């Protein structure tokens, strides 16, 4: 072909592209799974046991089938919202804005807890109970206008909202106030003070919503530098769980309809690594095992913590793949596996049957 002759193949390709017929995927990606695989590939102190992962996949699938476990369990809990409207989106956004660091070193009877509806709530449920109680008492805890009001929304206000029925205060109240302040400002500047507008800006993409949260809100930007990798490793626990909670609450419809919901990974905190270790799926090096059992502080963003979180994400992904390989017809994703594992370890904890404690890291990320 001479320089003067047209390249017919290239012209056809360009014509297809201009006509919108070329199948080029421009869907967003969160990068969380990619980072987790890198952490796993380079981990020294956390390892995966593939045989145990396969056994866990079979057990998880079997138990989920027996319990008919699904996203519907989310709304079934007495504390979670039952309506599917803008107020519910605001509730979930606030909930996941503040969904971090509830663990205590005190005995169960003395630890931070919320008394609500004649029950005593601890952990994550203490947050949800306190928010419901605040709304009952006329405190607009889910309103971003309230968060921006420095005279109304103060540290003393949060002490009232999260007042404990024990002598222990909710951890990290100052950090929670800072998260509310920042989120209120961002929502005002970019989303007309509306979490619903934020959700709509993602155009039905779970990955896009996660990326918007990480880009616009520093308090959702759960990403960390790891030695040997130029890009930070993205964990994005609370950003991802916001999407998952919307999906579960709205049962995949309306504002919970995400065409790429399966791009969401598990939510790397301290409970899922604990049960994965209990099940033999992940193992710790002797120094890390000693530190976890001794309940020593493991610094946020450090090598140990990043290995715990990154390897947990990759482990759950392998479990998901194994379930899909053996049961291609089943509709399962990392969200449902995470929810199931979290519920299971809480049941083990309530029965006093924990074989290893969860690792101790104080941070706003989980």
Positions marked active-site: 269
Distances (CA, A) of 280 to 285, 290, 296: 13, 16, 22
What single-letter DSSP state applies at residue 92?
H
- d(CA 130, CA 51) in angstroms, rounded, equals 42
Buried-exposed string 53-90: b where 16+ CB fall within 10 A, e elsewhere? bbbbbeebbeebeeeebebebbbeeebbbeebeeebbb
Asked if 183 and 147 touch (Cβ cutoff 8 Å), the reply is yes
CA 134/CA 136 separation, integer angstroms: 5
The H-or-E segment that residue 180 falls in is helix 173-190
Of the candidates 271, 237, 281, the residue with the CA atom closest to the CA atom of residue 359: 271
CB 203 within 8 A of CB 255: no
Q: How far apart are CA 320 and CA 261, in angstroms?
A: 14
Angle between helices 271-278 and 303-326 (to 10 degrees): 60
Strands 119-121 and 282-284, bridge-based pairing: unpaired
CA 198 to chain centre: 17
Question: What does the DSSP assignment read for 288-322?
Answer: HHHHHHTT-B--TTSHHHHHHHHHHHHHHHHHHHH
Residue 13 CB contacts under 8 Å (≥ 6 apart), including other chains: 22
């Amino acid at each position: 072909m001479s320089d003067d002759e047209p390249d017919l193949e290239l012209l056809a390709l360009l014509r297809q592209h201009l006509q919108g017929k070329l199948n080029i995927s421009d869907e967003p990606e969160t990068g969380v799974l990619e980072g987790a695989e890198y952490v796993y590939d380079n981990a020294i102190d956390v390892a995966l046991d593939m045989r145990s992962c396969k056994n866990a996949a079979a057990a998880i699938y079997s138990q989920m089938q027996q319990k008919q476990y699904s996203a519907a369990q989310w709304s079934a809990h007495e504390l979670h919202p039952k309506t599917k409207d803008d107020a519910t989106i605001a509730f979930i956004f606030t909930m996941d804005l503040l969904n971090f660091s509830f663990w205590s070193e005190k005995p169960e009877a003395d630890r931070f807890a919320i008394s609500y509806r004649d029950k005593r709530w601890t952990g994550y449920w203490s947050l949800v109970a306190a928010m419901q109680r605040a709304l009952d008492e006329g405190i607009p805890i889910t309103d971003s206008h309230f968060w921006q009001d420095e005279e109304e929304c103060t540290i003393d206000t949060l002490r009232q909202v999260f007042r404990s029925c024990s002598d222990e205060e909710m951890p990290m109240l100052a950090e929670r106030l800072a998260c509310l302040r920042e989120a209120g400002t961002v929502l005002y500047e970019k989303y007309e003070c509306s979490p619903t507008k934020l959700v709509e800006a993602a155009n039905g993409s779970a990955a896009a919503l996660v990326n918007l949260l990480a880009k616009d809100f520093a308090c959702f930007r759960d990403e960390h530098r790891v030695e040997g990798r130029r890009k930070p490793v993205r964990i994005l626990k609370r950003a991802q769980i916001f999407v998952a909670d919307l999906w579960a609450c709205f049962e995949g419809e309306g504002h919970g309809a995400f065409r790429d919901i399966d791009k969401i990974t598990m939510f790397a905190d301290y409970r899922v690594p604990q049960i994965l270790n209990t099940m033999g799926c992940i193992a710790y090096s002797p120094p890390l095992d000693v530190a976890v059992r001794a309940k020593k502080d493991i610094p946020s963003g450090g090598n140990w913590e990043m290995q715990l979180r990154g390897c947990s994400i990759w482990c759950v992904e392998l479990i998901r793949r194994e379930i899909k390989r053996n049961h291609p017809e089943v509709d399962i994703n990392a969200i449902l596996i995470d929810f199931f594992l979290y519920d299971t370890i809480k049941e083990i904890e309530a029965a006093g049957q924990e074989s290893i404690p969860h690792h101790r890291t104080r941070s706003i990320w989980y």
